[in-house]
C-alpha cells in the first residue's frame, strides 16, 4: 500500500486530521499514565503483611472507670481468652500491620550518632510472632522473662537510668538487610535512644508496619519486649481457624466483658476487615482510574467511527471512481485502515512525548515513580488496535460502494 495518496488526501483535511491526531495523542498519554498508576496501586494493595491474615480476629476494649492495675487486667484477659474453645493463641499488641497507626522509633547503630539511621515500627507484646503467624527465620522469639511493663520503661527513661529496660529485640529480615547488608544480624545492637540499646536475638521473614504507606520502608519493623497492659488503643489478637472466626469473636467479647464488666468493646473485627479498610482508598482510586481509561478509549473510538463515517460518505464518488478503474473491495478497505493507521501513529508518537511529560509532572508533584518504558508500547498497541477496530465498520461500508456510483451525478 502506498502512503502518498493517503497523505495527500489528509493534507486536504488538515484541521480535522490534526484534531484526530491530537485526540489520539491525549488519550494515549493519559491512558499510559493511568494504566501505570493502576498497576502501582494494585502492587501496593498486594503488599505482604507477613502474618496469617485469615486466622486472626481483633478486639479493642475501653475502660469506663480507671482500671487499678492494667497489667494484671491484661494478664487475666489473656488467660480468659486462652480458655475459650477454638482459640489457638492470643496476644496483646499496641498495633497491627496495616492498621493505619503505629508506634515507631528512630534507630541508631551507635549511641553517639547524631542523626537517626531510620525509623522503624515498634511492636510491643508477648507471643506476637507465634500468634500472628509471623515466621522466624533465624534466632529465637522473645522469652517471657525478658518482658518489662511499659510504665517501668517510661519512668526509667524519664529518670535517666537504665535499670530494667528491655535488652533484646526481634527484627524483620528487611530491617536487618537495611541496617547490616550481607551480615548476620544476630547479636548486633540497635539503639532506640542513647540509653536504650537492644540486642537482636531473632529475625522474622516479614512483618509489615502499621503505617505501611511507603512500599520501600513498609517492612522495617521490630518487636520490643514491652508489655502494654490493658488500654483502649491496644488490641487483643486471637488466632483461630478461619471458619471459626465469627463464633470465636462473639464468645471472646462476651468472655472479656464478663471478666470485667466495667468496660465497652470499642472495636471487634477480623484482620481481613482491617486490611480491607487500610487499602480502601487505593481500591477506590484504582477503580476510578480504570473507569477513566475505559471512558477515554470509548470516546476516542466513537470519535474515530464518527469521523471515518463522514469521510466515507464524503468520498463515495471518489471510491466509486476507484472501483470503476479496477480497485478491489480489499483495496478500498485497506485504504481506510491504512489511513487510520497513519493518523494513529502520528498520534501515538505525539502521545508518547506527552505521556513522558505528564509522568515527569506527576513525579515531582505526587511522588510517583518514573513511568517504566514497557507502558509506552502497551499504550501504543492499545490505540492501534482500537483505531483499526473503530475504522473497520466505516471502511467496510466504503468497500461496499458499487463502482456504478462513479457514473451517477449527485
Q: What residues line the site for another protein (CB under 8 A)?
A: 13, 15-16, 19-20, 22-23, 26-27, 30, 34, 37, 62-66, 70, 103, 106, 114-116, 150-151, 153-154, 157-158, 160, 193-196, 228-229, 231-233, 264, 266, 280-281, 284-285, 288-289, 292, 295-296, 299-300, 302-303, 306-307, 309-311, 313-314, 317, 362, 366, 410
Choice between 157 and 392, CB closer to another protein: 157
Mark out the alpha helices in 65-118 (DSSP H runs). 70-83
Instruction: Work out the number of other CB atoms within 10 angstroms of the CB of residue 7.
Output: 12
Q: How far apart, in whole angstroms, are the C-alpha atoms of residue 216 and residue 40? A: 13
- Over the Cα atoms of the chain, what is R_g? 32
Choice between 325 and 410, CB closer to another protein: 410
Residue pair 376/35 in contact by the 8 Å Cβ criterion: no
Residues facing residue 122 across a β-bridge: 222
Element (H, E) at 341: helix 329-366
Instruction: Work out the number of other CB atoms within 10 angstroms of the CB of residue 179.
Output: 19
Q: How far from each other are the two terminal CA atoms of the chain, in whole angstroms?
A: 30
Choice between 213 and 328, CB closer to another protein: 213
- Sign, Cα dihedral of 298, 302, 303, 305: positive
C-alpha cell at 307: 469521523
State in angstroms the smallest separation of the CB of 22 from another protein.
5
State in angstroms the smallest separation of the CB of 87 from another protein.
26
State in angstroms the smallest separation of the CB of 192 from another protein.
10
State in angstroms the smallest separation of the CB of 182 from another protein.
27
Choice between 10 and 248, CB closer to another protein: 10
State in angstroms the smallest separation of the CB of 18 from another protein.
9
State in angstroms the smallest separation of the CB of 215 from another protein.
16
Residues facing residue 149 across a β-bridge: 227
Choice between 3 and 213, CB closer to another protein: 213
State in angstroms the smallest separation of the CB of 184 from another protein.
28
Choice between 239 and 323, CB closer to another protein: 323
For residue 226, the number of C-alpha atoms closer than 13 Å in the C-beta half-sphere is 20
Choice between 186 and 342, CB closer to another protein: 342
Farthest-apart Cα atoms in the chain, separation: 106
State in angstroms the smallest separation of the CB of 137 from another protein.
30
Residues 67-102 as b/e (b if ≥16 CB within 10 A, e otherwise) read beebbebbbebbebbeebeebbbbbbbbbbbbbeeb
Choice between 2 and 367, CB closer to another protein: 367
Instruction: Work out the number of other CB atoms within 10 angstroms of the CB of residue 264.
Output: 12
Amino acid at each position: 500500500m502506498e502512503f502518498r495518496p493517503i497523505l495527500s488526501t489528509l493534507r486536504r483535511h488538515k484541521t480535522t486530521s490534526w484534531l484526530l491526531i491530537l485526540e489520539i495523542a491525549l488519550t494515549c498519554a493519559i491512558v499510559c499514565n493511568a494504566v501505570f498508576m493502576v498497576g502501582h496501586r494494585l502492587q501496593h494493595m498486594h503488599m505482604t503483611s507477613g502474618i496469617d491474615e485469615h486466622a486472626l480476629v481483633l478486639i479493642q476494649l475501653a475502660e469506663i472507670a480507671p482500671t487499678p492495675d492494667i497489667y494484671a487486667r491484661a494478664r487475666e484477659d489473656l488467660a480468659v481468652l486462652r480458655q475459650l474453645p477454638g482459640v489457638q493463641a492470643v496476644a496483646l499488641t499496641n498495633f497491627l500491620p496495616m492498621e493505619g497507626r503505629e508506634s515507631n522509633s528512630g534507630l541508631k547503630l551507635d549511641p553517639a550518632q547524631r542523626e537517626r539511621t531510620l525509623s522503624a515500627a515498634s511492636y510491643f507484646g508477648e507471643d506476637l510472632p507465634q500468634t500472628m503467624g509471623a515466621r522466624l527465620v533465624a534466632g529465637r522469639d522473645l522469652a517471657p522473662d525478658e518482658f518489662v511493663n511499659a510504665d517501668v520503661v517510661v519512668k526509667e527513661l524519664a529518670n535517666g537510668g537504665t535499670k530494667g529496660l528491655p535488652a533484646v529485640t526481634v527484627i524483620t529480615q528487611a530491617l536487618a538487610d537495611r541496617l547490616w547488608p550481607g551480615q548476620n544480624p544476630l547479636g548486633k545492637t540497635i539503639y532506640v535512644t542513647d540509653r536504650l540499646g537492644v540486642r537482636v536475638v531473632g529475625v522474622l521473614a516479614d512483618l509489615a508496619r502499621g503505617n505501611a504507606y511507603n512500599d520501600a520502608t513498609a517492612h522495617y519493623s521490630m518487636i520490643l519486649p514491652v508489655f502494654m497492659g490493658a488500654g483502649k488503643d491496644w488490641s487483643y489478637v486471637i488466632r483461630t481457624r478461619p471458619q471459626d472466626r465469627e463464633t470465636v469473636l462473639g464468645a471472646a467479647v462476651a468472655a472479656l466483658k464478663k471478666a470485667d464488666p466495667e468496660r465497652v468493646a470499642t472495636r471487634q473485627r477480623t484482620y481481613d476487615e482491617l486490611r480491607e479498610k487500610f487499602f480502601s482508598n487505593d481500591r477506590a482510586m484504582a477503580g476510578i482510574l480504570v473507569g477513566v481509561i475505559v471512558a477515554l478509549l470509548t470516546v476516542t473510538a466513537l470519535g474515530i467511527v464518527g469521523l471515518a463515517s463522514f469521510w466515507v460518505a464524503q468520498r463515495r464518488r471518489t471510491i466509486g471512481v476507484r472501483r470503476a478503474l479496477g480497485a478491489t473491495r480489499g483495496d478500498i478497505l485497506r485504504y481506510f485502515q491504512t489511513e487510520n493507521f497513519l493518523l494513529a501513529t502520528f498520534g501515538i508518537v505525539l502521545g508518547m512525548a506527552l505521556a513522558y511529560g505528564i509522568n515527569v509532572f506527576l513525579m515531582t508533584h505526587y511522588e510517583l515513580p518514573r513511568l517504566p518504558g514497557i507502558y509506552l508500547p502497551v499504550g501504543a498497541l492499545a490505540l492501534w488496535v482500537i483505531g483499526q477496530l473503530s475504522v473497520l465498520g466505516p471502511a467496510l461500508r466504503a468497500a461496499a460502494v458499487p463502482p456504478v456510483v462513479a457514473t451517477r451525478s449527485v
